[in-house]
Amino acid sequence: MSTWLEHLAEPAADNRQDPAQQHDGGQPATPSTASAHGGPVVAREHGVDVIACRRCGFRHVTPLPDPATIDQLYTEDFYGSLHANYIASQRANLAWWRLEFGAKYDLFEELLPAGRCSLLDVGSGPGWFLQYGSERGWRTVGVEPGRPAAQHTRQVLGQDVINDFFTPAAVARREPVDVVHLHNVLEHVPDPAALLDTARGALAPGGLVSVTVPNDFNALQEALVRLRGHARWWVSPREHLNYFDRPDLEALLRRHGFEPCAHLASFPLEMFALMGEDYLAEPALGKVIHSRRMAMEQALHAAGEGALLGKVYRALGELGLGRTLTVLARRGNGR
């Protein structure tokens, strides 16, 4: 399999456009100049720099991959050579995932008037988030470029899905929706700003965008770097092009016509390492601590304390802590 890192090492003769050229959902973007992106280098992995970009307002790799390589990664490689067991592994933990889904739908229903219950899931994967919403009375549709995942969504779960990248053209004939859900999407795309503009165009007035990203360069991670001398393990340029913390993500949303209105985090797994169970030094511990986290959450729900757990994770989101961070933001009337 060829990754975009290999493309950088041996650029094709017909691929000499500016390496900072950006791309939204598989369609070439307007070329920019290399000087448009710049800032201090905050990490380096596999010979690729991550910069705190002054232009973009968040950290990202430089140079960025070309559009054709991104197309291959998410239409062919992601559910093939990179994540061959992705669908099966999610199915094995589906009971836990449904608790995660419920926390988000709870927030959507709190923030929207009764009756506003249409949702577009971008990068919808195997379709279980769509299925959960449908069971809860929502009208859902997914956009998923990976063929195996889109087929599972349509043929196994019977859910509506567009097998394509998320572009204005892909959703042009669809009615505006009340929620656009972006779970672990922004870190993968060369142009998050363009994707948010597309999301805004797909929303009805007053609708919500729900953005979940890995909460990278957060205070607990940086504490481990300082205390234990770990490299910045969360930097993974093979797949993650962009790196967000809460201030940078909220600033990006505001620049593109959204006003943040709620937060949600996942369990801060870095706490295990700070307490002595250093899964970074002993990778075999990784699955163990994740299993403990899932068991704790399922136990609290079984004991009738799911609402308490939700309050804890909302509070962590407000603090900018947690392994992942979700920001819900309302579409404004401007722009």
Say if residue 272's pLDDT is above 60.
yes
Q: What is the pTM of this model?
A: 0.86
Give the pLDDT band of residue 36 (cuts 50, 70, 90).
confident
Kindly tell me the burial class for residue 173, based on how many C-beta atoms sit within 10 Å of its own C-beta (0-12, 13-18, 19 or more).
exposed
**CA 194/CA 28 separation, integer angstroms:** 12
User: Cβ(161)–Cβ(178) under 8 Å?
Assistant: no
Instruction: Please give the DSSP secondary-structure letter assigned to residue 163.
Output: -
Q: Which two tokens stand for residue 219?
A: 């205070």
Q: Find where tokens 């890192």 sit.
A: 5
Question: So what's the pLDDT on residue 238?
Answer: 80
For 52-111, write each residue's pLDDT tens digit. Answer: 999 999 999 998 887 777 766 665 655 554 456 878 888 999 999 999 999 999 999 999
Domains, the chain, in order of start with CATH, read 4-331 (3.40.50.150)
For 280-293, write each residue's pLDDT tens digit. Answer: 999 999 999 999 99
Q: Which two tokens stand for residue 275?
A: 């307490």
Say if residue 306's pLDDT is above 70.
yes
Of the candidate ranges 23-27, 97-101, 268-272, 302-306, the one whose mean pLDDT is the lowest: 23-27
**CA 208/CA 262 separation, integer angstroms:** 10
Q: Which two tokens stand for residue 95?
A: 């009971």
Say if residue 24's pLDDT is above 70.
no
Give the pLDDT band of residue 45 (cuts 50, 70, 90).
confident
**CA 224/CA 176 separation, integer angstroms:** 44
Q: Which residue has the higher pLDDT, 162 or 12?
A: 162
Say if residue 34's pLDDT is above 50.
no
Give the pLDDT band of residue 20 (cuts 50, 70, 90).
very low
For 117-130, write each residue's pLDDT tens digit. Answer: 999 999 999 999 99
Please name which of 323, 325, 276, 314 lies closest in space to residue 106, comparing C-alpha atoms: 314
Secondary structure of residue 14 in the 3-state scheme: coil
